[in-house]
């Protein structure tokens, strides 16, 4: 019953053996796979009960990760709005350090621990100084294309004691996280709605895979109804599990 035992505390076992955070990708979408309408409006895809459950997830995970696009579009707080519950460490992937100093995340950094990961140093020194004075921590972790190296970022966050991360990114960051191989779990909240439209945003963007055989393989671990919405929970199959996942699917 090794699999059952590991599932009781997957975060601890993953972190203690890899020293990397356990990353769970979470998103809300319509039944036709849209996370926003063609105008970009996403309030609200799912119902109130599902949105309340999001605060439980933010309490469960040590950190919450988003991209700069989410910050610029929604100006979120990314905290837990339930009295007595601790908020996660807020982490923003921001290659070009575009985060506004007047954003809610920056203004509340002294209250809620906040980390901004960046990849371009040009003209960044002054802004970094200001961010530090406002309580924001920064991590420099570029890849060869001057984008955030997500594997390096995870290693750095693991060294800082962050054992788990709830990824609430948009389609671009979700695609990058999957390609980097850092995602261990997917939680999809599916609403009984249809947005339609070729321009509507989807949970995972990028160029996608060329062939169905190249898909990221998942394994269902739980399906339940929350309010009017359905939550589907899956584990991402690694190379060792790929054959068994394919057989079970």
pLDDT of the residue at 241:
44
Q: Do 50 and 42 meet the contact criterion of CB atoms below 8 Å apart?
A: no
Beta bridge partners of 23: 165, 183
Is residue 248's pLDDT more than 60?
A: no
Q: Report the C-alpha gap between 28 and 188 in whole angstroms.
A: 6
- Section 138-164 average pLDDT: 95
Q: Report the C-alpha gap between 24 and 186 in whole angstroms.
A: 6
For residue 220, the SS3 value is strand
pLDDT of the residue at 246:
44
For residue 53, the SS3 value is helix
Q: How confident is the model at residue 238 (pLDDT cuts 50, 70, 90)?
A: confident
pLDDT of the residue at 2:
67
Which letter does DSSP use for residue 71 in this model? H
Is residue 6's pLDDT more than 90?
A: no
Q: Which of 47, 54, 107 is nearest to 77 (CA)?
A: 107
State both tokens at 70: 């989410």
pLDDT of the residue at 242:
44
CB neighbour list of residue 2: distance below 8 Å, 6 or more residues apart:
none
Is residue 101's pLDDT more than 70?
A: yes
pLDDT of the residue at 21:
97
Is residue 181's pLDDT more than 90?
A: yes
Is residue 50's pLDDT more than 50?
A: yes
The mean of the pLDDT values for the chain is 91
pLDDT of the residue at 78:
93
Q: Do 162 and 63 meet the contact criterion of CB atoms below 8 Å apart?
A: yes
Centre a 10 Å sphere on the Cβ of residue 185 and count the other Cβ atoms it contains: 21
- Section 157-182 average pLDDT: 95
State both tokens at 218: 């998942």
- Section 208-218 average pLDDT: 93
Q: Which of 80, 78, 76 is nearest to 55 (CA)?
A: 80
**Count of all residues that appear for the chain in the document:** 249
- Section 107-121 average pLDDT: 95
Q: Report the C-alpha gap between 171 and 247 in whole angstroms.
A: 28
Is the pTM here over 0.85, yes or no? yes
């Amino acid at each position: 019953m090794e699999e059952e035992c590991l599932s009781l505390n997957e975060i601890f076992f993953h972190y203690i053996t890899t020293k990397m955070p356990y990353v769970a990708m979470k998103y809300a979408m319509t039944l036709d796979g849209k996370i926003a309408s063609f105008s970009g409006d996403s309030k609200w895809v799912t119902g109130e009960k599902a949105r309340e459950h999001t605060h439980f997830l933010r309490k469960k995970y040590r950190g919450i990760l988003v991209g700069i696009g989410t910050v610029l579009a929604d100006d979120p707080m990314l905290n837990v709005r339930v009295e007595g519950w601790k908020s996660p460490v807020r982490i923003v992937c921001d290659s070009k350090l575009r985060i506004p100093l007047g954003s809610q995340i920056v203004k509340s950094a002294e209250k809620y621990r906040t980390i901004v990961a960046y990849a371009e140093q040009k003209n960044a020194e002054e802004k970094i100084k200001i961010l530090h004075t406002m309580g924001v921590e920064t991590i420099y972790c570029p890849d060869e294309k001057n984008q955030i190296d997500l594997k390096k970022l995870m290693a750095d966050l693991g060294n800082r004691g962050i054992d788990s991360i709830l990824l609430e990114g948009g389609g671009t960051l979700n695609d990058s996280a999957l390609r980097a191989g850092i995602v261990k779990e997917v939680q999809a909240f599916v609403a009984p709605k249809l947005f339609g439209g070729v321009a509507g945003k989807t949970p995972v963007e990028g160029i996608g895979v060329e062939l169905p055989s190249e898909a990221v393989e998942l394994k269902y671990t739980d399906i339940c109804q929350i309010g009017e919405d359905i939550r589907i929970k899956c584990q991402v199959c690694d190379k060792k599990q790929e054959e068994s996942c394919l057989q079970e699917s």
